[in-house]
Amino acid sequence: MLFWALYFRLSQYGFTENRYFVFVFGWWLLAMAVYLLVSKKKDIRYIPITIFIIAVLSSFGFWGAFAVSEKSQINRLEKFLVKNNLLVEGKIKKLDNQEVLFEDRKEISAIIQYLYRVHTLSGIQMWFTQDLSDLSTFEGETQPKRRRDVYLFPQKVVQEFLGIEFVEAWQGGNIESETFVLYVDEYLSDGKMADISKYDFMASLYNLSGNIREINDIIYEYKFDNNNGEFIILKNDEVIARVDTKFFLNNLLKVRSSYPPPTDRDLMKIEFENENISLAIYFTNINGKKKESGIYRIQSLNGRLFFTPKIQ
């Protein structure tokens, strides 16, 4: 069953380091089982010795885990590029108006992201006229690089050099009813401090509704109204603020293709003020689904609410 399942996985998605080791140690398990069943002199010292030999041999050389996995994924990428006329006579041909199937764009995006994250893009450099090692600076960007590069560099290659839309691994083919996940990556905030000096109180947001806190015998609560896309603040069960989030979510999801899935903290902030309250919401995580009608339905959210009541 192990080899049967592995065969289907490898035929669809090729080798990665994890699949390589499952494959190798699958054969090792089979060999050990045969040895223990057939051998008259069963020496268990062969188990750690053979594991050590396999670990050493698989760590280097063209037969090793990294080399085999990189070659396998480059071959898969080549097939998708040739199929969609993106690779012609060994050189990348940027598309202008030609449509590329969603699943093909998703596979191309995933492979390039994998190669950049685990290996480098040097294995596909010969296809490009651009220098793929010279993507470390973006004009006007000063954020620390680390995690953000894993998303931005592959997006630049796919969108600017291939001329097709980058597709995240979690995206579905039906964009009009897609699930979205937005969360804050503090790396992108570049150590910036959030100015909350004008707010008197802070509360944590963990669900779509809950108590904020009790102040001078006044109970403040919040709830998210998915029907109207509003974040509502209540004071002793009376609505004192309705914060419209539709424009906020629409803009945030529009720029998602030019930002990595981890989102800058400043983009996940809503400020609001009326005659009853002044507040700022710093979301750390928003999960939801865009319905076919275009309405965003939030399924879960987390964050911090900073506020100052104007009338107590």
Do residues 113 and 199 share a domain? no
Q: Which residues contact 260 (CB under 8 A, 6 or more apart)?
A: 147, 148, 150, 151, 152, 155, 185, 188
pLDDT value, residue 65: 92
pLDDT value, residue 263: 63
**Residue after which a domain boundary falls, among 121, 151, 169:** 169
Question: How many Cα neighbours within 13 Å face the side chain of 82?
Answer: 8
Do residues 12 and 95 share a domain? no
pLDDT value, residue 292: 59
Do residues 87 and 131 share a domain? yes
Q: Are 181 and 262 in contact (CB under 8 A)?
A: no
Q: Are 229 and 246 in contact (CB under 8 A)?
A: yes
**Residue after which a domain boundary falls, among 101, 134, 169:** 169
Do residues 82 and 123 share a domain? yes
Question: Which pTM value belongs to this model?
Answer: 0.60
Q: Are 92 and 162 in contact (CB under 8 A)?
A: yes
Do residues 118 and 158 share a domain? yes
Q: Are 281 and 270 in contact (CB under 8 A)?
A: yes
Q: Tokens 């699949």 sit at which residue?
A: 19
pLDDT averaged per 10 residues, the chain (length 312): 80 89 90 88 87 90 92 93 90 80 89 89 88 58 47 79 80 61 63 79 85 81 88 91 87 58 72 92 84 73 89 64
Query: 104 to each of 13, 127, 180, how far by Cα in Å?
Result: 12, 18, 20
d(CA 111, CA 124): 11
Do residues 228 and 155 share a domain? no
Question: What is the number of domains present in the chain?
Answer: 3
For residue 164 the two structure tokens come to: 């097709």
pLDDT value, residue 279: 93
64 in any annotated domain: no
d(CA 265, CA 283): 8
Q: Tokens 């865009």 sit at which residue?
A: 290
Domain holding 212, by residue range, is 179-309
d(CA 79, CA 69): 16
65 in any annotated domain: no
In single-letter form, the type of residue at position 8 comes to: F
Do residues 84 and 162 share a domain? yes
174 in any annotated domain: no
**Residue after which a domain boundary falls, among 131, 146, 169:** 169
Do residues 183 and 255 share a domain? yes
